[in-house]
Structure 1
Amino acid sequence: MSLILQIETATTSCSVALARDGKVLDFKQINARNIHAEVITLYIDELLNNAGINYNDLDAIAVSSGPGSYTGLRIGVSTAKGLCFALDKPLIAIETLEAMAYGVINSTGFVADTNMLLCPMIDARRMEVYTALFDTAGNRVRETAADIIDENSFADYLRDHKILFFGDGAEKCKSVLSENPNAAFLDDFINSATYLTQKAAQKFTGGAFEDVAYYEPYYLKDFIAGKKAL
């Protein structure tokens, strides 16, 4: 038995979900920039109150670990660690791109094609994205990387596979990749804490917990602060 609070703040989506034994009970989310710090704790309170669940009833806290927005990840992981410290509960971390892939695989209407690969993309800057490749069973085919997308990106994979691109980084890549007949795009994808559910339940069962004191988000690359406009 597991009752897990799940937190997703790695992208523009600020989302929290409550899952019991690998099944989502309820969730709250908003897809908007620069609002995560303002709503995250309110959403958690509302979610638990609506379900009639006390904080101490939780068995673990799961968080989307990145890569993604530096600020968003700091907010999500800090919130998760704070709850783990206060409640003496274990912390589960799930890579954001992997969770996104599972979100598509488990979505209503998704038809698995054995020749298809899934390519979640998170917007980095300009034509750069955080991305990886997964098959339709959720197995990793290409490691997570920060890629600058051009007309040759994924050429070796697109030669033999249809690739479904999705996430907030995929939209800006359309103009470059959409000419390839094996490239497809999922336009309405919004990241969600509900996508953490399957891996969170598996990690809880396997006791795959993080060291709360030392855990840090998976930034993938160093944060570079922009200059403030005068």
Structure 2
Amino acid sequence: MKRLAFDTSSQTLSVALTEDTTLLGKIDLNIKKNHSITLMPAIDFLMTNVGFAPSDLDSIAVAKGPGSYTGLRIAVTTAKTLASTLGIELIGVSSLAAIAANACVKGKVIALIDARRQNVYAGIYEDKQLVNQERHLPLSQLLSELSQEKTVHFTGEIDGFRELILASLPQAKFIENPERRLPNAYQIACLASHEKAVEVDYFEPEYLKKVEAEEKWLETHAHDETTDANYIQKI
């Protein structure tokens, strides 16, 4: 199984090519760049240097969220276009699951993505398995829920939250190796082996939170989501 995997859900861009579980090549960029400009050249460079033609690919794996709205749309749109054009399967993998899998520690791993204003996207994992539902929530609420845990490892976008975490959870540990905290397309490729392929036409990012424009619209418009699932089309 030859698989192309990539993630643009955060500042980091990560692209990997695998054959079964063997990593053939990977590119990581952890600098502020426009992913819409850098993603396809990175894919082309990696494919060329590994010696793959597009027709060699059997599968596309992509980070489906949560994360940056723009970054997720770039990755998902690219993945859908490639999978549809090549006629191959498409698999979506949680961005948080890929971060947690990259931690490589035993016990509970809390993968965080900064959602701004002291809110986070969070997933609690153990042995690469999701312990409960991934959520968007205030960091304070998450820390309160973890107060009885003996040991937890935090990873992902944690630098801005260290003091707050330790104030509530002095027993908390952190994944200190920066490379272990970043999104990793190789982990996305590996995790995809345990996921089912999606319907390409209906695949969408999993934001876990409404976009700001949608939230503001809802504040001034009465709406019952149970009766009109397409309400946002009225904007």
Query: TM-score over 0.5 for the alignment?
Result: yes
Q: Which residue of 2 aligns with 1:219?
A: 207
Q: Work out whether residues 165 and 183 of structure 1, in 8 Å CA contact, stay in contact via their aligned partners in 2.
A: yes
Over the residues paired in the alignment, what is the CA RMSD in angstroms? Answer: 1.8
Q: Which residue of 1 aligns with 2:194?
A: 202
Give the drift of 1:156.
4.2
Unaligned runs of 5+ in 2: 215-235
Q: Residues of 2 paired with 1:185 and 1:202: CA distance? A: 27
Unaligned runs of 5+ in 1: none
1:140 pairs, out of 110, 122, 130, with 130
Give the drift of 1:44.
0.3
Q: Residues of 2 paired with 1:183 and 1:158: CA distance? A: 10
Q: Residues of 1 paired with 2:156 and 2:41: CA distance? A: 26
SS in 2 for 1:39: helix
Q: Work out whether residues 143 and 165 of structure 2, in 8 Å CA contact, stay in contact via their aligned partners in 1.
A: no
The TM-score, its normalising length taken from structure 1, stands at 0.86
Q: Residues of 1 paired with 2:138 and 2:145: CA distance? A: 16
Tell me the alpha carbon deviations over residues 121-174 of structure 1, each in whole angstroms, 9 at most, x when there is no partner.
011112111001111x11221211111112x63334342331111112x22221
Q: Which residue of 2 aligns with 1:21?
A: 20
State the identity as a percent: 31
Number of equivalenced pairs: 211
Tell me the alpha carbon deviations over residues 181-203 of structure 1, each in whole angstroms, 9 at most, x when there is no partner.
21112242221212212211233
Give the drift of 1:11.
1.2
Q: Which has the higher helix share?
A: 2
Q: Which consecutive segments of 4 or more residues in structure 1 shift more than 4 A?
A: none
Q: Work out whether residues 24 and 197 of structure 1, in 8 Å CA contact, stay in contact via their aligned partners in 2.
A: no
Residue 149 of structure 2 aligns with an amino acid whose one-letter code is D
Q: Work out whether residues 23 and 197 of structure 1, in 8 Å CA contact, stay in contact via their aligned partners in 2.
A: no
CA radius of gyration, larger in = 2
The TM-score, its normalising length taken from structure 2, stands at 0.84
Give the drift of 1:104.
1.4
Query: 62-71 or 192-201: which moved more?
Result: 192-201
Q: Residues of 2 paired with 1:119 and 1:160: CA distance? A: 12
